[in-house]
Amino acid sequence: MRRKILMGVLALALPIGTMAALSPVASAHKAPPNPVSCHVSATVSISPALSVKGVLSSKGKTGTTTVHVTYSSCTTATGPASVAPKTLTILSAAAKDKAWKTDGNSKKGYYLGVCSAFASKTTAKSLGKAVKNMLVAGGTLKGAKAAEGTVGAEVGFNIIGTVKGGTYPTASHGASIAAGLLNDANNTNLIGGCTGGPVTTIDIDSGNSTAVL
């Protein structure tokens, strides 16, 4: 269960990528011809808050996760560069709670914000739609593939893709993003199933998270 929740955390924390598969993605890929390298920070806000029981809702209703990404200390081979911040909105549909007995919910009810269901296929599908053809570094991110991995000493998420067009177009799968989950009390509670109380944000370690676009 902890692994499933962690995958959900990483899925929503990373605004550029897709959770189409959780199997490792090969790290070997062509280097970008003229990459821009940045540190990445992000604020992730979840509504309604994630909790053990979630919120009883109805079919067709949605919850919202807002991800605001900021790039800093960006450089290229020729000097400093600027990459505009991005805001991504991900909608997650109300769903039946598969762990309804454990969570103390109704088998037939539709819920939002159930912590144990955070890594559902519905969440992954919503994320995939949200990042389709996302604009990054003046171009468009194509063919993004994501996998669980390590970012420094932290559990994190690694993404490869291709930026087409713009100032810094990359070769095939030359773009990469690595985001680490900050080791703090809030994220520990989330990974543990929200048993310590509701979770409204996800914390990303900006000191360890990077992007090459």
If residue 200 lies in a helix (H) or strand (E), which one and from where to where?
Answer: strand 199-203
Contact indicator for 32, 174 with CB cutoff of 8 Å: yes
* pTM exceeds 0.75 for this model: no
Q: What is the number of other CB atoms lying within 10 angstroms of the CB of residue 104? A: 10
Band of pLDDT at residue 168, cut at 50, 70 and 90 = low
Band of pLDDT at residue 5, cut at 50, 70 and 90 = very low
Of 101-115, 131-145, 181-195, which gets the smallest average pLDDT?
131-145
Phi, psi of 182 (to 5 degrees): -60, 135
Question: Which percentage of the chain shows pLDDT scores above 90?
Answer: 22
39-94 pLDDT, tens digit per residue, is: 888 888 999 999 999 999 999 999 998 888 888 898 888 888 888 888 878 788 89
Q: What is the pLDDT of residue 16?
A: 34
Contact indicator for 124, 90 with CB cutoff of 8 Å: no
pLDDT (average), residues 118-132: 51
- Spatial separation of the C-alpha atoms in residues 162 and 196, rounded to whole Å: 40
Indicate the angle between helix axes 121-130 and 2-13, nearest 10 degrees: 10
pLDDT (average), residues 185-206: 88
Helix (H, G, I), strand (E, B) or coil at 81: coil
Regarding predicted confidence, which is higher, 30 or 165?
165
Band of pLDDT at residue 147, cut at 50, 70 and 90 = low
